Amino acid sequence: TINPSISSLFRHKTHAGNHLRRINSGLWKLKAVVMGEAVASGDDQLIFPNHDFAQQAHVPNFQTYLEMYKRSIGDPAGFWSEMASEFYWKKKWGQQVFSENLDITKGDVNIQWFKGGITNICYNCLDRNIELGNGDKIAIHWEGNEPGVDDSLTYNQLLERVSQLANYLKENGVKKGDSVIIYLPMLMELPISMLACARIGAVHSVVFAGFSAESLEQRILDCKPKIVITCNAIKRGTKVINLKDIVDSALSESSQNGVNVGLCLTYANESAMKREVTKWQEERDVWWQDVVPKHSTKCDVEWVDGEDPLFLLYTSGSTGKPKGVLHTTGGYMIYTAATFKYAFDYKPSDIYWCTADCGWITGHSYVAYGPLLNGATVLVYEGVPNYPNPGRCWDIVDKYKVTIFYTAPTLVRSLMRDGNEYVTRYSRKSLRVLGSVGEPINPSAWRWFYNVVGDSRCPISDTWWQTETGGFMITPLPGAWPQKPGSATFPFFGVQPVIVDEKGKELEGECSGYLCVKASWPGAFRTLFGDHERYETTYFSAFPGYYFSGDGCSRDKDGYYWLTGRVDDVINVSGHRIGTAEVESALVLHPKCAEAAVVGIDHEVKGQCIYAFVTPVEGVEYSDDLKKSLVLSVRTNIGAFAAPEKIHWAPGLPKTRSGKIMRRILRKIASRQLDELGDISTLADPNVVDQLIALADS
């Protein structure tokens, strides 16, 4: 029997039943599709799967999905145990496959999957696939920033490299449960480092190499790593970035603040910078190439519990302090493997490319773990997508015969602006599935991606998920049902999305509200590192009994889910999550800034951009130089990707009598919707609104 509360998906005439009828009544359209033509029907925008594609897909139709979905909800223990049994467990998990409490009114929030099971995710990615006969299969194709510079590793070779580093880490005192910070660009050494940590049970925390020294320091202070792994410099497009300088400054600051990291393993990335010119601290710094290759290529696995921590990844929230999202081993392993296989209809012959950086969750789950668990061939690209020109992605697709291409809407929109010629000059015949992640994809970008990049042949998996969820939550299964441009469609197996109103009442049928999830899924994060209370208040207190995502969402008459963006103080710039409070604290660190308020506004390519209202300290004049140095303060305190697009001078900020900034009004002023300011009578001083409007273009 299915959990009766999931019935919102099935009970109403608006949902599955209707959905099936539509597919049947759309048979005439399917005929056209068989002729090689994708049909989008005008009123409901349905885009039907290609018949041949559907026939070969893991989930070939909606009926099969429904059967599997119902089972995953009705018998999660059985469903996920079956998925888990494809992997190697030194010892099987205990009687209880999972236990959970999501309801803070009933005690501490607690989620566990495969507790008592003993396994290792690195073993399952590498050794297991080698035993299955894939030792000589390419695990990673690496494409450098400069065209023509490339490399590759088979599964055998990858295991050797990982083992050497794992042995080095062990020799230097890194033990099970210790944390390791990895601050590397997209070199093969990045996934190698992650896997080496996992092999010995160490907890990795990858910090995106675009973060500033201050951000890196903050993370070092929080998780107190035994060692930091980095490289001397990186090349992105024509720019060289001196990474080691950033690390040096983070390490010296953090040691003054009480966390002294004694070892900095530095990969010499000679194509970007020679060793000789790299600044060096003899007692602390070690060149990777001098020590790691000397170690044995065999390294015993540290067997860990299904609930032992795998990694920490810091993400932005609505306060200034980043949150250390903690994922554990067993559930994350099964969930990333299963979502990768089904949402991309992965087959062993695929060549898979995800453009995300391993510094974000997408790179963890869908550059490294998900694909490697499936024994896939993964492409890792070092550079920027439009270097040396906007055709680079398709050049790479043709070079490696990429079959699955997974990227972000911001890249799609920017390539769309560069013109179709950059796409159509390449064959792209190898492509069969496209994917999108990071923010809602607007229907026009979806159609361009579908029609121009995919030649109207390739289904698009618009995957909605989060750092916290570990893997896909709402996503198309290519081939299984018709798509609607801009909709992430339906929930993945085991996921029970609910849409609630402000009072936490579950809405049924066609509706819009806040997106929550009922019941746990294996890939869910288990806590915020060192702050379980913040975990509970941020995610489980707004709507007791549910996990609250922070996103708004609507469900249409056919049951399709449409994500509408964040409803909290988080801005999504080019798919990167940035907290307004983080940017505000970076601005007020500037000696001439008295107060700052930051909002997100729509941006044609980036999706959203950062718009900052700044009140300078008494007596300081407004000037363009001051604007520049304020922006610089954000770049140095967070990273270049968080730089405000616009600084708007504010003699005062619109505040309520209790001193709360009314961001709603600031958002309207920032997007120049001046006739939609709404009620401003509750402001302590309504005059500030006119002052702000007067300063809009100065």
Chain centroid to CA 115:
26
Under the binding rule (CB under 6 A), the answer on residue 611 touching ligand 6R9 is no
The whole-angstrom separation of Cα 311 and Cα 328 is 7
- Which of the ranges 81-89, 114-122, 433-441, 647-655 carries the binding residues for ligand 6R9, by CB under 6 A? 433-441
Question: Mask: binding to ligand 6R9, 10-39, rule CB under 6 A, as x and -?
Answer: ------------------------------
Measured over all CA atoms, what is the biggest interatomic distance in the chain, rounded to whole angstroms? Answer: 73
Q: What amino acid positions are annotated as catalytic residues? A: 568
| Min separation Cβ 439 and ligand 6R9, Å | 5
Task: Give the residue with the Cβ less far from ligand 6R9, 367 or 488.
Answer: 488
Task: Give the residue with the Cβ less far from ligand 6R9, 232 or 461.
Answer: 461
Question: What helix, strand, coil percent values describe the chain, rounded to 5?
Answer: 35, 25, 40
| Min separation Cβ 576 and ligand 6R9, Å | 7
- One DSSP character per residue, 431-442 reads --EEEE-SSPPP
Task: Give the residue with the Cβ less far from ligand 6R9, 302 or 439.
Answer: 439
Sequence letter at residue 79 = F
Give the footprint of ligand 6R9 on residues 286-315 (CB under 6 A). Answer: 315
Strands 404-407 and 433-436: parallel
Under the binding rule (CB under 6 A), the answer on residue 572 touching ligand 6R9 is yes
The whole-angstrom separation of Cα 372 and Cα 358 is 14
Instruction: Give the phi and the psi of residue 149 in degrees, each rounded to 5.
Output: -100, 115
In SS3 terms, 188-241 reads as CHHHHHHHHHHHCCCEEEECCCCECHHHHHHHHHHHCCCEEEEECCEEECCEEE
Give the footprint of ligand 6R9 on residues 546-565 (CB under 6 A). Answer: 549-551, 563, 565
Other C-beta atoms lying within 10 Å of the C-beta of residue 331: 31
Task: Please work out, in degrees rounded to the nearest 5, the angle formed at the alpha carbon of residue 487 by the alpha carbons of 482 and 492.
Answer: 75
Sequence letter at residue 249 = S
Under the binding rule (CB under 6 A), the answer on residue 577 touching ligand 6R9 is yes
Give the footprint of ligand 6R9 on residues 667-686 (CB under 6 A). Answer: none
Other C-beta atoms lying within 10 Å of the C-beta of residue 239: 11
Ramachandran area for residue 289 (φ above 0: left; ψ -120 to 50: alpha; else beta): alpha
In SS3 terms, 136-150 reads as CCEEEEEECCCCCCE
**Residue appearing with tokens 């306060």:** 319
The whole-angstrom separation of Cα 515 and Cα 627 is 37
| Min separation Cβ 115 and ligand 6R9, Å | 26
| Min separation Cβ 203 and ligand 6R9, Å | 19
Under the binding rule (CB under 6 A), the answer on residue 488 touching ligand 6R9 is yes
Among 414, 411, 415, residue whose Cα is nearest residue 436: 411
Sequence-ordered list of residues with C-beta below 8 angstroms from that of 525, at least 6 positions apart, any chain: 325, 326, 327, 467, 468, 469, 470, 535
| Min separation Cβ 552 and ligand 6R9, Å | 9
| Min separation Cβ 156 and ligand 6R9, Å | 31
| Min separation Cβ 571 and ligand 6R9, Å | 10
The whole-angstrom separation of Cα 163 and Cα 578 is 36
Task: Give the residue with the Cβ less far from ligand 6R9, 422 or 562.
Answer: 562
Under the binding rule (CB under 6 A), the answer on residue 410 touching ligand 6R9 is no
Under the binding rule (CB under 6 A), the answer on residue 361 touching ligand 6R9 is yes
Cis previous bond, 147, omega within 30 = no
Task: Give the residue with the Cβ less far from ligand 6R9, 360 or 405.
Answer: 360
Total of chain residues touching ligand 6R9, rule CB under 6 A: 25
What the block records as the tokens of 645 is 């697009």
Under the binding rule (CB under 6 A), the answer on residue 476 touching ligand 6R9 is no
Task: Give the residue with the Cβ less far from ligand 6R9, 285 or 569.
Answer: 569
Tell me the C-alpha to C-alpha distance, in Å, between residue 62 and each of 24, 54, 70, 481.
11, 10, 12, 6
Task: Give the residue with the Cβ less far from ligand 6R9, 465 or 492.
Answer: 465
Task: Give the residue with the Cβ less far from ligand 6R9, 550 or 654.
Answer: 550
Task: Give the residue with the Cβ less far from ligand 6R9, 215 or 467.
Answer: 467
| Min separation Cβ 528 and ligand 6R9, Å | 13
Instruction: Let me know how long the chain is.
Output: 698
| Min separation Cβ 437 and ligand 6R9, Å | 5
- One DSSP character per residue, 164-179 reads HHHHHHHHTT--TT-E
Tell me the C-alpha to C-alpha distance, in Å, between residue 177 and each of 173, 174, 228, 305, 613.
12, 9, 15, 11, 43
Give the footprint of ligand 6R9 on residues 434-473 (CB under 6 A). Answer: 436-440, 462-467
Under the binding rule (CB under 6 A), the answer on residue 8 touching ligand 6R9 is no
| Beta-carbon-side half-sphere exposure of residue 505 (alpha carbons within 13 Å) | 5
| Min separation Cβ 363 and ligand 6R9, Å | 10
| Min separation Cβ 513 and ligand 6R9, Å | 15
Under the binding rule (CB under 6 A), the answer on residue 566 touching ligand 6R9 is yes
Task: Give the residue with the Cβ less far from ligand 6R9, 164 or 572.
Answer: 572
Determine which residue in the list 362, 403, 410, 538 makes contact with ligand 6R9, applying CB under 6 A: 362
Among 113, 6, 108, 100, residue whose Cα is nearest residue 541: 108
Task: Give the residue with the Cβ less far from ligand 6R9, 120 or 436.
Answer: 436
Among 18, 51, 36, residue whose Cα is nearest residue 480: 51
Residue 315, SS3 per DSSP: strand
The residues of the shown chain that bind ligand 6R9, judged by CB under 6 A, are 315, 360-362, 436-440, 462-467, 488, 549-551, 563, 565-566, 572, 575, 577
